Structure 1
Amino acid sequence: MNHLYPIFLKVHELNVLLIGGGNVGTEKLQFLLKSSPNAQVTAVSREFSQDFLDLASTTDTVTVIEDVYHEKYLGGKHIVIAATDDKLVNRQVRDEAKERFLLVNVADTPDLCDFYLGGIVTKGNLKIAISTNGKSPTAAKRLRQLLEEVLPEEIDDLLDNLNAYRDTLKGDFEYKVKAMNEITEGLVKKGEIKNLAYNKS
């Protein structure tokens, strides 16, 4: 049973520490920037791959520091990602981060993670996160690809229309919830998403 609690973090307002600048570190950074192009990331590694440096250079919110990991880099951080090829270093990062009550993700080591970087589908303002409870990142990837194909691009028009409609509603909270439930009921019906998207309010 999956007991994970999904949340959406404003990583452009939080400080993320990424330890590791190789292939895995590049993958983690790519994931962060794809979801949040302005994610505030400090990357620390003894050396960085060219792919990592090229990716980091696409935004001014990523700071690159060539150095071995040290506990001092945990200062002022909210989230920590350990992505080195050294299990002992990854464990050290995890243990020292936990002493500071920081949230930690250790690459390819689910037992040491407070959170996972799952598959994410983004269509304008719509964002769907997919988790396999750390069992199969590949399955999460395939599900992401499927949802990206199935969800119409017009879904963002639908969300804009629903937001505009909600702003016109009068009455108390209970009334507004009932009205929104009624108008969005068709979303669960096959083929209705695209039709609703074209129904301009």
Structure 2
Amino acid sequence: MSGYPIVLTGLAGRCCVVVGGGAVAARKAQALVEAGARPVVIGPELGPEVEAMAVAGQVQIERRCYRPGDLAGAALAIAATGDRQVNAAVAEEARQRGVLVNVVDDPALCTFTLPAVVRRGDLLVAISTGGQSPAFARHLREMLEEIIDPAYGELLALVGSLRPRVLSRALRERQLQVWKRLLDGELLAILRRDGRAAAEARAAEILDGFIEQETGGTGGTQELNG
């Protein structure tokens, strides 16, 4: 299945409906909570994971069967009931209302699919098989989790904080070289070994070296060559 990859960033405070109350529905609801949404979970029987989220105030629950009209005002919907007829009814209402919908285990009814995700702070790596094999996506995610450790999230936060300085007039003409130097692996190694403060200090030295070179000093050549 072909698709256009996007990351939804406007879900904060938005109502998102999850139909179903089992473990799968709980995982989908938890992901929505992490995105800042206000999930409403609808199902006649709700599992312990959903109940725990409700007690914590993370989700609103409706202990009943789905009924037409439940998607009114929803930003998106997820059907995870295990009942194909109910899931199809949710998908049909979503289509009529123009609401994005994901139907678990039925890609043909989906207007979006949910990838397997590796999260490291604000770094998000998504893996999609177009709904063909969630197990394969999970397998790849587990492989990437071994490679992309938490230090990558810390590196993203660090280089993000440096962006205004890299885009400043003093370094604007050499942005590509500066980014290549900052991301060549040295800062990542320092983060893993010595922590954020040491990495920030080294990054400042690297940028100072580039600026000195641009302004006619002699101290930047060593930094440029690494």
Both proteins in one fold, TM over 0.5: yes
**Corresponding residue to 1:86 among 83, 86, 104:** 83
Structure 2 distance, partners of 1:133, 1:105, is 12
The range that moved more, 19-28 or 140-149, is 19-28
Contact 1:155 1:193 in 2 (8 A): no
Contact 1:39 1:61 in 2 (8 A): no
Unaligned runs of 5+ in 1: none
Tell me how far 1:167 sits from its aligned partner: 1.1
Structure 2 distance, partners of 1:195, 1:165, is 18
Unaligned runs of 5+ in 2: 192-198, 205-226
- Give the corresponding residue for 2:40: 42
Look up the equivalent residue of 1:166 and give its one-letter code. Answer: R
Task: Give the aligned CA root-mean-square deviation in angstroms.
Answer: 2.6
TM-score (norm 1): 0.82
Structure 1 distance, partners of 2:12, 2:51, is 20
Look up the equivalent residue of 1:44 and give its one-letter code. Answer: I
What SS does the aligned partner of 1:41 have?
Answer: strand
1:183 matched to 2:178? The reply is yes
How big is each residue's C-alpha offset from its partner over 1:140-192, in whole Å with a ceiling of 9 and x where there is no partner? 11211121111232223322332232212324xxx85x644333336886x56
- Give the corresponding residue for 1:17: 17
Matched ranges for 1:1-201 at <5 A = 2-33=2-33, 35-36=34-35, 38-58=36-56, 60-168=57-165, 169-171=167-169, 176=172, 179-185=174-180, 194-195=188-189, 197=191, 198=199, 199-201=202-204
Structure 2 distance, partners of 1:16, 1:57, is 18
Question: Quick one: higher RCO (CA 8 Å, sep 6+), 1 or 2?
Answer: 1
Structure 2 distance, partners of 1:196, 1:10, is 34
How big is each residue's C-alpha offset from its partner over 1:16-75, in whole Å with a ceiling of 9 and x where there is no partner? 101111233223224434x43x431011112212232124433x2310011221222211
What SS does the aligned partner of 1:81 have?
Answer: strand
Structure 2 distance, partners of 1:64, 1:162, is 41
What SS does the aligned partner of 2:150 have?
Answer: coil
Relative to its length, the structure with more helix (as a share) is: 2
- In 2 relative to 1, CA 72–163 (structure 1 residues): closer, same or farther, beyond 3 Å? same
Structure 1 distance, partners of 2:28, 2:162, is 38
What SS does the aligned partner of 2:89 have?
Answer: helix
What SS does the aligned partner of 1:8 have?
Answer: coil
Contact 2:115 2:128 in 1 (8 A): yes
Contact 1:16 1:42 in 2 (8 A): yes
Structure 1 distance, partners of 2:127, 2:203, is 30
Look up the equivalent residue of 1:194 and give its one-letter code. Answer: L
Identity %: 31
Structure 1 distance, partners of 2:37, 2:124, is 16
- In 2 relative to 1, CA 24–179 (structure 1 residues): closer, same or farther, beyond 3 Å? same
